[in-house]
Amino acid sequence: MDSNNKDNPVYSNTDSSKVNLSEDEWKKILPQDVYYIARKKGTEPAWSSPLETLKDKGTYYCAACGNALFVSDTKFESGCGWPSFYQPVSKGSVIYAPDHSYGMNRTEVMCGRCKAHLGHVFDDGPPPTGLRYCINGVVLDFKKAKEAEEKYNKSGKD
């Protein structure tokens, strides 16, 4: 839910530059659970993330690089067992790739900054988009709206 970012030199909620690290570099800076999902395209067990039922207002960031991904206003209860959203925070915040693993035809969702595997998107979501972004909670960091605003205001005065 809040990865150990102090050992991660690329983690930033404000830097939008692309991140290209080797797998060895990622392995050194990411917690093991984040590395497994973000870099090895793993999946956490359904219903295991505390973010699944979180109702607080705020922003969800990539746990690997800090990129803003989703806002709480687009989160909804899908019943799938993973945090679900109907749209990303911006067009470039996530990228997509076809995923034909396990004999299924799905669309993988990755971080637009570091290409971390986040989960998948399906076309069975609510209006206004009709999409359901089914995202592994392990690869999300959540910051409450007030906390994010205070941090932004503080960084602007430095």
Active site annotation includes 134: yes
Q: Which of 65, 111, 114, 134 is catalytic?
A: 134
d(CA 108, CA 48) in angstroms, rounded, equals 20
Q: Please choose, from the candidates 61, 62, 58, the residue with its C-alpha nearest in 3D space to the C-alpha of residue 73.
A: 58
The pair of three-digit structure tokens given for residue 53, joined into one six-digit string:
């039922």
Compute, in degrees rounded to 10, the torsion defined by CA atoms 117, 54, 16, 12. Answer: -100
d(CA 155, CA 80) in angstroms, rounded, equals 37
Torsional class of 127: left (φ above 0), alpha (ψ -120 to 50), beta (otherwise): beta
Q: Computed from CA positions of residues 1, 107, 30, 9, in that sequence, does the dihedral angle turn out positive or negative?
A: negative
Q: Which residues are catalytic?
A: 134
